[in-house]
Structure 1
């Protein structure tokens, strides 16, 4: 049994180096919601040194709100912002001798694409224009992956270690006080349930069927590193191998 662990890097959080000893895939900020040239270059260099798969983590143009503000961009504007982020990050990754393996939208872009079929289709069109081999990471039950499958793009179904789920399989919004899991053991139990039973408990007590190829560990909280270390150790103790779920090409 195996699972991919991913985390968002290059955003200026203090634990990137330590998280890279735990994860198998890195979603590297493209600089529009957080991070700068230095944090991005460091994240790329350290990821490649660790053999961790590198993916792009683009966002809406919303640095003020860390990319978590919902936006309604016309297609041309969305295309401009996504392609500029992808090309800029790809140039840096290639300069370090690597290649982009996947794309995972950030924040509001991720959440909106999970429920808005039109936005999801537009994102997939743009990503396919950039690189039809690039794997698209999205919420397991969401519209983004459905749109990617329609266009025969490779996908990874994602679940979250530290987020609670609504009965329809979507994530509770961060505005809901129940949205985040702060207890590392509870998060580990949720991960094990997803991996071994392919379902997850929702906030109303029901079970939602959930197959995940990759699990997200957030690295932007004060306890993020201890949290991630507990999950990593717990998964290994259960004999679950942590490895990338997708490699487009050798890095």
Structure 2
């Protein structure tokens, strides 16, 4: 049997001031990559630096989770930003996070868009190109993470950025392989054991069921557990334990960390 490696990532540093969201410390003992908020959709400098410090201590790869400038909406609302502005916003976020990461003993290893931006650049040509331009301006060899089949990954590949594909442990899929919008019933999954079973299938390249029951194959280098979902730590632990029990090795897709 061919050995299988998979990355397990989570969205972290999404608190802000007195508002706490998720258990970053606990998740950082489970995941191999951390998508760290950069202050535009969530996160303040203290929260962000704390997550970077814990990631460095646990040898977890740090990624810049860039988003729209939308604290009130948690970055989950589409914003029709002109491409040049969007590129500057993304570049600003990566640079800010990298400064805090380096002060914490690590650095930004990859870039993953967040929320509405993530979903928009599945199809939005101009915004996808803008995010690619920002990443290239920062580091033309920086790995990027996104949805398989998205314009974002296609344009990143054209720009010769290292491209990695992501699947979601706790989100439902449409038959076409896109995420079911959060406002729809059944969009977010909560049963830890069912999620863990699905992650084994994803890691092995086996089909999972789309929301209508259609078999769907999602090729992935990394699996995401949302840090803001209730019970996220329980879900992440169940996923990790089940993957390891099946002989699947958890390892950061960037090749760094634990």
Moved more, 39-48 or 7-16: 7-16
- Alignment pair present for 1:153 and 2:133: no
Corresponding position of 1:130: 138
- Alignment pair present for 1:10 and 2:13: yes
> Normalization by structure 1: what TM-score?
0.95
Q: 1: CA distance between counterparts of 2:227 and 2:257? A: 26
Corresponding position of 2:35: 27
2:88, 2:134 within 8 Å by CA — same for their partners in 1? no
SS at match of 2:113: coil
1:21 Cα deviation after fit = 0.9
Matches within 5 A, 1:86-235: 86-235=94-243
1:222 Cα deviation after fit = 2.5
1:193, 1:199 within 8 Å by CA — same for their partners in 2? yes
Corresponding position of 2:18: none
Q: 1: CA distance between counterparts of 2:141 and 2:63? A: 12
Root mean square deviation of aligned Cα: 1.5
Aligned residues between the structures: 250
1:7 Cα deviation after fit = 0.5
Structure 1 residues 77-129: Cα deviation after superposition (integer angstroms, max 9, x where no partner) = 11221111111111111222322110001110101011212221221112111
Moved more, 189-198 or 235-244: 189-198
Q: 1: CA distance between counterparts of 2:237 and 2:41? A: 26
2:83, 2:126 within 8 Å by CA — same for their partners in 1? no
2:22, 2:229 within 8 Å by CA — same for their partners in 1? no
Could you tell me which runs of 5 or more consecutive residues in structure 1 were left unpaired when the two chains were aligned. none
> Normalization by structure 2: what TM-score?
0.93
Q: 2: CA distance between counterparts of 1:45 and 1:96? A: 5
SS at match of 2:108: coil
Q: 2: CA distance between counterparts of 1:245 and 1:199? A: 21
SS at match of 1:57: strand
1:27, 1:57 within 8 Å by CA — same for their partners in 2? yes
Q: 2: CA distance between counterparts of 1:76 and 1:122? A: 7
Could you tell me which runs of 5 or more consecutive residues in structure 2 were left unpaired when the two chains were aligned. 16-20
The alpha-carbon distance between structure 1 residues 219 and 48, as it changes in their structure 2 partners (threshold 3 A), is same
1:180 Cα deviation after fit = 0.9
SS at match of 2:187: coil
